[in-house]
A and B are shown apart, each in its own frame.
Chain A
Amino acid sequence: MTAEKTAETTSQAEAPAGHDLLRLENIGVRLGGRQILTGVSFTVAPGQFTGLIGPNGAGKTTLLRVILGLTPPTEGRVLLNGSPRPRHGGRLIGYVPQKLAIDQDVPLRARDVVALGIDGHKLGFPLPSAKRKDQVNEALRAVGAESYADARIGELSGGEQQRVLIAHALIGKPKLLLLDEPLANLDLKSEQGIVSVLARLAREQRIAVLISAHDLNPLLRETDTVVYVAGGRAAAGPTDEVIRTEVLSALYGSHVDVLNVRGRIIVIAGDEQQEPQAHHPTDTGVIIGLDRN
């Protein structure tokens, strides 16, 4: 497989190594009279594994939608490979939604979903071809989903569906993979499976991965950088530079403590005592990353 089969993205020739793949400059988003995000800036380099972390409602999904071009930013701009992003990132960005709201009965197999990743946006209907079939099988293999390739997409478990959706996004050979809270509804084992699949693909195929989550811990081992969103703003950089008491306190606007307990990060509100299991964000504090067993 040649690395540069990006014939369709004519305006985005492969950027010279070291240049940013994705660059957000001073992004602000105002929706319905509320300022959701202000002054968000960060970059993603090719092959980089980035965690987009923050409590629920912080604006992670909004940020993803800005990158995808679905929500226009009120301020700032998004650059893909150095040029302002076109209407739809073309084939450069692959997107994996959190969950499919899909019936059990829907007549679509996992492999049909993946096949739609190749040409679902083109008119007409697909003619059966061996090449297409091979591509689909390869993508399924890459995510470890061959064993249920012929099952109905609606009958798969959360983790299985995630893998199929990742294959769907990957088959278009994107340079950047966006995942919206893929771990949110998974059990621990499935979580680990997904993260290792993603990390491996990022390394092997030099695909940048931007994965949003409200808990950093499952991603801790793999993330090179973190974009932490809270209080309408974001802090971006290498993981251990961002996940610190000073930085997060500044974001939240109140004191939070960042603890490292046996390799796991815990963020605790300073002012109020929160129940350890609480995952709900409040104005004064939030706990994330508690060891879950």
Chain B
Amino acid sequence: MGHFFSYIVEPGLLSSGPVRTALLVGTVVAVTSGVVGVLTVIRGQSFAGHSLADVATTGGAGAFLAGLNQFWGFLIAGVAGAAIMELIGVQRRRGRDVATGVVLGAALGGAALFLYLGTQTSSTTGASFTILFGSMFVISPDTVPALIASGVVALAVIAVLSRVLLLTSLSPELAAARGVPVRAVGIAYLVALAVAVSLSAVVIGAVLSTALLIGPAATSLRVAKRPSRAMLAAALIGTAATWLGILLAYDSYYWPPAGHGWPVSFFVVALVVVGYLLSYVRRPRRDRRARVAGQAQEEAPTQEAGACSPA
């Protein structure tokens, strides 16, 4: 048994400093992302969640160029991006989509510029890759307190506003009728999202940030019916995926073909997606019942096995 255990958990895993930091930070990120992610999926703002990660990354690239602390670059860019999206976006879901896309496009343009200017000053050929995908094993320990603090802030905002947030997410008209300032709540949510996402983007990159934001939340919402339970489940799923991903990445150090390990981001993303797909295997009957119940409210009548559509 001990032999088997040490086969999976390579010796030295837990004594490695970078791994321990990665596990700690990864947990903070996974928990924050999972909780915020549940609200994001309910509100249909996955695109905004992803875009803010990219926007934050641009801020990080800019900060790097200007010689400032990258972490604050991420954070400020993320929050600014959220504010601009809210300003030029509109309450309608589709209008917000386009506003998100435009802000993202401009931010990515900025990233292109910063990366280009960066290559003028120093040779950073791997910069694009690292910016997109991050690197969990090279988190410097002195940023850890700031990271944990931002995670706590985002979670605190969510906790304080949770009831109101859920109400406005699930039924904006009802919330408005009850006198809830829907727009202000929306802004508060976006800020919490920006903070959570900037935090995760800086340590694990934009791609993984989105994966941990959306994947576990989407999975948990399929199995848990109460949002609070879903948040707990999402945090757990995200943490599990992160730990397992770190573990596998560490183990893969000697794997072919390159001999320097497979990226953590790949493992975590793969685990998250597999977990999501597994949730379909579990509950097909519940799925159908939920679909029937929601049938009357569905906008597009394409859910049933209609005679018109090919199988």
Question: Which residues of A approach B to under 8 Å, CB–CB?
Answer: 31-34, 56-57, 61-62, 65, 69-72, 87-88, 101, 103-105
Contacts and interface: CB of A to CB of B under 8 A. Distances in A.
Nearest to B290: A32
A71 B285 CA distance: 19
A33 to B, nearest CB: 7
Given A103-B94, A103-B95, A31 B296 contact: no
**Can you list the 3 inter-chain pairs with the closest CB atoms, starting with the nearest?**
A32-B292, A32-B288, A70-B306
B92 A61 contact: no
A71 B298 CA distance: 14
A213 to B, nearest CB: 15
Given A31-B292, A33-B288, A34-B292, A101 B299 contact: yes
Contacts of A104: 92
B256 interface: no
A32 B301 contact: no
Given A65-B301, A103-B92, A33 B306 contact: no
B297 to A, nearest CB: 10
Interface residues of B, number: 18
30 contacts: A31-B288, A31-B292, A31-B304, A32-B288, A32-B289, A32-B291, A32-B292, A33-B285, A34-B292, A57-B296, A61-B295, A61-B296, A62-B295, A65-B301, A65-B304, A69-B306, A69-B307, A70-B301, A70-B304, A70-B307, A70-B308, A71-B306, A72-B306, A72-B307, A87-B307, A87-B308, A88-B308, A103-B92, A104-B92, A105-B95
A33 B292 CA distance: 9
Nearest to B92: A103
Interface in B52-94: 92, 94
Contacts of A31: 288, 292, 295, 304
Contacts of A34: 289, 292
A9 to B, nearest CB: 17
B310 to A, nearest CB: 11
A249 B169 CA distance: 40
A72 B307 CA distance: 7
Nearest to B304: A71
B289 A69 contact: no
